């Protein structure tokens, strides 16, 4: 992206244009949503994606640690409790473990990471490192892939309910919760980014951060596809 982003509308449009690079169009996701994946392929995806899920709160804690703005921190904190819960047996990570059980994986084999392939580990670790080491506003911008997540989540829910009837519906609670959480989180992140990135240079860095994150998600899917694809 080389355009000089002086107008806020252009900036938001440049961010939103990354929808074209979102991992919903990755062949593995396309096959998933068309109901073409086997039980083993679904299990491989669930086990590998757990590594992303369990690292999201660590990524968000890194943003909190770097962020001097009290109002932003107050809002951002909720992301951590959404994933970790406020008590044993609650939260998104627990919900993902239940998804694992619903597809036939034990909690132990999901939690110990034995199925995680190197490319997924590498991509997720890069995302956490990005949040630790880059200015906090860039890290917030990198979370904006979630602007594009609700459509994918809705498609996935329908696909799982209709095409993968062997999966117990209770296991899909994670995706139902994200349908509500992702729009709320991404709208907040977009407001933070548009407020704090005022110069063309700051805006270009935010766009680059989102581009980096599209690469993270795509690289994860490539690695999963390579390990479990047809
Ligand atoms: O299943 C998906 O396609 C998907 C994508 C993304 C995303 O776009 O980064 C997230 C999630 N799920 C998700 O569940 C989640 O909690 C999440 C947090 C974040 C983030 O960057 O802070 N992205 C995502």
Atom of ligand 1 nearest to the CA of 145: 8
Pocket (CB within 6 angstroms of ligand 1): 56, 143, 145-146, 149, 152, 178, 217
In tens, the pLDDT along 28-53 reads 999 999 999 999 999 999 999 999 99
Atom of ligand 1 nearest to the CA of 144: 21
Please indicate, yes or no, if residue 89 is contained in any of the structural domains.
yes
Q: Give the model's pLDDT for residue 8.
A: 85
In tens, the pLDDT along 181-198 reads 999 999 999 999 999 999
Q: Give the model's pLDDT for residue 137.
A: 98
Average pLDDT, the chain: 96
Which of 42, 64, 97, 145, when mutated, tests ligand 1's pocket best, judged by the most ligand atoms within 8 Å of its CB?
145
The predicted model scores a pTM of 0.95
pLDDT class of 22 with cuts at 50, 70, 90: very high
Is the pLDDT at 16 greater than 80, yes or no? yes
Please indicate, yes or no, if residue 3 is contained in any of the structural domains.
no
Contacts of residue 174, Cβ cutoff 8 Å, sequence gap at least 6: 92, 95, 96, 98, 99
Please indicate, yes or no, if residue 1 is contained in any of the structural domains.
no
CATH number of the domain enclosing 86 = 1.20.910.10
Closest residue by Cα to atom 22, ligand 1, is: 143
Q: 148: CA distance to ligand 1 center in Å? A: 9
Q: Give the model's pLDDT for residue 192.
A: 98
Please indicate, yes or no, if residue 103 is contained in any of the structural domains.
yes
Please indicate, yes or no, if residue 84 is contained in any of the structural domains.
yes
Interface predicted TM-score (ipTM) of this complex, two decimals: 0.92
Please indicate, yes or no, if residue 52 is contained in any of the structural domains.
yes
Domain that holds residue 27: 8-228
Please indicate, yes or no, if residue 175 is contained in any of the structural domains.
yes
The whole-number average pLDDT for the span 192-205 is 96
Total structural domains in the chain?
Answer: 1
C-alpha separations of 43 from 185, 194, 195 in Å: 28, 39, 41
8 close to 194: Cβ distance less than 8 angstroms: yes
Q: Give the model's pLDDT for residue 52.
A: 98
Q: 149: CA distance to ligand 1 center in Å? A: 7
The whole-number average pLDDT for the span 53-57 is 98
Is the pLDDT at 1 greater than 50, yes or no? no
221 close to 23: Cβ distance less than 8 angstroms: yes
Please indicate, yes or no, if residue 2 is contained in any of the structural domains.
no
In tens, the pLDDT along 139-173 reads 999 999 999 999 999 999 999 999 999 999 999 99
In this prediction, what percent of the chain has a pLDDT beyond 90? 96
Q: Give the model's pLDDT for residue 3.
A: 60
How far is residue 99 CA from its own chain's centroid? 16
The whole-number average pLDDT for the span 74-100 is 97
Which of 53, 149, 152, when mutated, tests ligand 1's pocket best, judged by the most ligand atoms within 8 Å of its CB?
149
């Amino acid at each position: 992206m080389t355009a000089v982003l002086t107008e806020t509308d252009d900036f938001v449009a440049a961010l939103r244009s990354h929808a074209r690079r979102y991992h919903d169009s990755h062949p593995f996701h396309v096959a998933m949503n068309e109901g073409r994946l086997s039980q083993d392929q679904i299990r491989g995806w669930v086990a590998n994606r757990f590594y992303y899920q369990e690292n999201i709160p660590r990524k968000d804690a890194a943003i909190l640690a770097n962020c001097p703005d009290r109002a932003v921190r107050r809002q951002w904190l909720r992301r951590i409790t959404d994933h970790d819960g406020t008590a044993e047996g609650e939260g998104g990570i627990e919900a993902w473990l239940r998804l694992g059980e619903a597809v036939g994986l034990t909690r132990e084999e999901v939690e110990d990471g034995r199925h995680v392939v190197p490319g997924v580990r590498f991509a997720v670790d890069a995302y956490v490192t990005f949040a630790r080491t880059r200015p906090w506003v860039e890290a917030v911008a990198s979370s904006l892939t979630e602007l594009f997540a609700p459509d994918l989540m809705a498609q996935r829910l329908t696909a799982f309910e209709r095409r993968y009837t062997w999966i117990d519906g209770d296991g899909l609670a994670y995706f139902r919760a994200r349908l509500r959480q992702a729009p709320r989180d991404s709208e907040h992140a977009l407001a933070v980014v548009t407020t704090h990135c005022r110069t063309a240079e700051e805006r270009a860095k935010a766009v680059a951060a989102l581009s980096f994150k599209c690469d993270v998600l795509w690289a994860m899917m490539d690695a999963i596809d390579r390990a479990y694809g047809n």
